[in-house]
Structure 1
C-alpha cells in the first residue's frame, strides 16, 4: 500500500453569483366539496334530497359561490353544455337520462 500515490484533493472554485431575489409561490388553499347521487333511470333532475345517505350532508352549492365545477356520470366527465347547476339542483339538458344505478358526482372547487 505504500506504493500507491496519494492524489491531491480537488480544488473547487465556486462561481461568484450575484445576490438575486428568490420568489416562492405558495399555492392557494382550495376546498373541494362533492355531491354524490345514484340515478333512478327516470329523472334528469338531481336535488340535495337525492344525495347518497351516509356520506354526510350532500350539498349542491350556488354556482356563483364556486370557482369551478365538474360533473361525472358513471365516471365520465360531462361537457358543460349537458347540464345546468342551480343552488340545490342539477338539471341534465340531454334527451336521455342516466341508466338506473349510474353514479352522479358533482365536484365543486372553492378558492
Structure 2
C-alpha cells in the first residue's frame, strides 16, 4: 500500500533519525510494522520458549519404630597372601606371607564369602577350591612365578 506524502515524510524522517531500527514510541508505519514483527517473532519462536519444567519432588520415607532398634551389622575381612611358584597348584598356610599380615586359609564354611585374586584379577570359583588350610588351583593355566595370590575372606556379623 503506497504511503501518502505526510506518511512518507514521517517515515523517511524516522529512518533518517534512527537509521533502520524501529523506535518503540514512534507510530509510523515502519516502526509499527517493525515492532510488530519483533514482538510476534519472539512470541512464536521456539528458541525463546522455556519448555523445561522439571518436577523435583524427592520424598524418602523411613519407618522407625521406637520399640525396635536393629542390631548393628559388622563386617570382618581377612586375607591370605602368597606368591605364585612355577607349576604349583596347592598352597597352604606355610606359603603365607606373614610379614605382610597374611592370615591362615580359613574354613569356607565359617565365612560369608570368599574371593580369589591372582595377579590382582578376580578369579571365577570354578577354577579353585578351598579347604581349611589349603587352596587348590584347578585350572591348567597356572599363574606366573611371583604373581601375588590373594584369598579374601568376608564374614558378615550381626
Confirm or deny that 1:95 pairs with 2:140: yes
Deviations 1:19-74 (A, max 9, x none): x8436877510110100000012201111100113124531000100110000000
Greater share of residues in strand = 1
Helix, strand or coil at the partner of 1:54:
helix
- Corresponding residue of 1:6: none
Count of aligned pairs: 92
Q: Is the 8 A contact 2:115 2:151 kept in 1?
A: yes
Alpha-carbon spacing, 1:93–1:69, altered in 2? closer, same or farther (3 Å): same
Tell me, which stretches of 5 or more residues in structure 2 are unaligned? Answer: 1-61
**Contact kept in structure 2, 1:44 and 1:98, CA below 8 Å:** no
8 Å CA contact retained: 2:89, 2:136: yes
Task: Work out which of the two has the higher radius of gyration on C-alpha atoms and give 1 or 2.
Answer: 2
Unaligned runs of at least 5 residues, structure 1: 1-19
TM-score w.r.t. the length of structure 2 is 0.53
Which aligned segments of 4 or more residues in structure 1 are displaced greater than 6 angstroms?
23-26
Match of 2:82 among 22, 30, 37: 37
The structure showing larger relative contact order (alpha-carbon pairs under 8 Å, at least 6 residues apart) is 1
TM (norm. structure 1) is 0.74
